[in-house]
Amino acid sequence: MVDTKYGKYIVKEPIVPPGMGHHPEITAPVVQCVGESEFDGAPFSINFDYITEPFTMISRAHAHDYDQFLFFIGGNPANMVDFAAEVDLWLGEEQELHTISAASVVHIPKGLIHGPLVYRKIEKPIIFVDAFLAAGYVKSKVM
């Protein structure tokens, strides 16, 4: 819709094909919108990943200069609270372990050390949504 006045605000089929995303373990297409490339530098980005098997998504603790929101929901759109998985996430410099075993949202405030992020047990597929208030993904501190 680029040939209209407001068509530039619509991204049709924002899909990254299987195998082309950041994690080869994710075998389904990824829905992705990145502010810097799709929305003229808007300070917002979001990814939807369909997780079907255990793997380590993030291996090292790090922080960002922006707020981030991590959504862990069941993979059945008719019942997103049906969450049959265990995901380990470490928070803070002291590496406090949190195991996510129910549909959840995690707010990562600007500057909070977080990670690793490990999908330890996946009995049914889940959806992971990574939303952050920045035009692109940048680690400001890696431990």
Show me where the domains of the chain are located: 10-142
pTM over 0.85: yes
The predicted-structure confidence for 21-34, as pLDDT tens digits, reads as follows 778 889 898 999 88
DSSP 124: S
Q: Residue 74: its pLDDT value, please?
A: 98
Domain 10-142 carries which CATH code? 2.60.120.10
The predicted-structure confidence for 35-87, as pLDDT tens digits, reads as follows 898 888 899 999 999 999 999 999 999 999 999 999 999 999 999 999 999 99
Q: Which residue has the tokens 């991590």?
A: 70
Average pLDDT over residues 104-119: 97
Q: Residue 2: its pLDDT value, please?
A: 56
Cβ–Cβ < 8 Å for 85, 119: yes
Beta bridge partners of 23: none
